[in-house]
Amino acid sequence: MKNTTEWATIANIVAPFGIRGEVRVFSLSDVPDRFFKLKAVYLAPDHTRYEIEGVRPHKGDQLLIKFKSIDEPNAAEKLRGRAIMVPLDELAKLPPDSYYQHDILGLQVLRMDGQEVGTITDIWATGGNDVYVLKGPQGQQFLIPAIKEVIKQIDLIRRVMYIDPMRGLLDDDAVVDDPNQADEE
């Protein structure tokens, strides 16, 4: 299963918690009750399977997870920093026009007229909306807000995202002040 399965990271283990072997986990999932329904997960890098004994909420997006066979803090400490993964075919179904990060990363980004903008290399989660980090054809970096006013179409089959950038978003229409030019008053 390790060699033929594609994986999705759904959380990261932050630290051990308490004396019973629990781990504090930062969830990367937008599906609120995902962890309460899972019976087992896999930990990177070797995709070792761990059965879940219990899950409870913790501060904000964090959870406390108790794995079977991890019964003391030293064993939990060895799991610190590891990614919690599931096979792609076990991911929850998303509503229309919603995508997993692994679907978005690597997409080629084009303007509506077909002009190449770049490739998505990273996704920044912000308070209001995600921001896609693009690497342009000449190595430049662009930041594109993941909002409907900009993102017009996502084609996962062709691995392309079409955008209609706002004025100045790609610096093509930006006004640049020339510090060498004297102010005329």
CA distance 119 to 163: 12
Residues 6+ apart with CB under 8 A from 116: 108, 109, 110, 137
Give me the pLDDT at residue 176, please: 44
Closest CA to 81 of 32, 12, 127: 12
Class of domain 7-90: mainly beta
Q: pLDDT tens string for the chain (185 positions)?
A: 455 578 888 889 999 999 999 999 988 776 667 888 899 999 999 999 999 999 998 987 789 999 999 999 999 999 999 999 999 888 877 778 778 888 898 999 999 999 999 999 998 878 788 899 999 998 899 999 999 999 999 998 899 999 999 888 886 544 444 455 555 54
Quick one: CATH architecture of 101-163?
Roll (2.30)
β-bridge mates for residue 87, sequence order: 7
| Residue 105 burial (CB count, 10 A) | 14
3-class secondary structure, 123: strand
CA distance 22 to 37: 18
Residue spans per domain, the chain: 7-90, 101-163
Closest CA to 41 of 17, 67, 61: 67
Is the pTM here over 0.75, yes or no? no
Give me the pLDDT at residue 168, please: 82
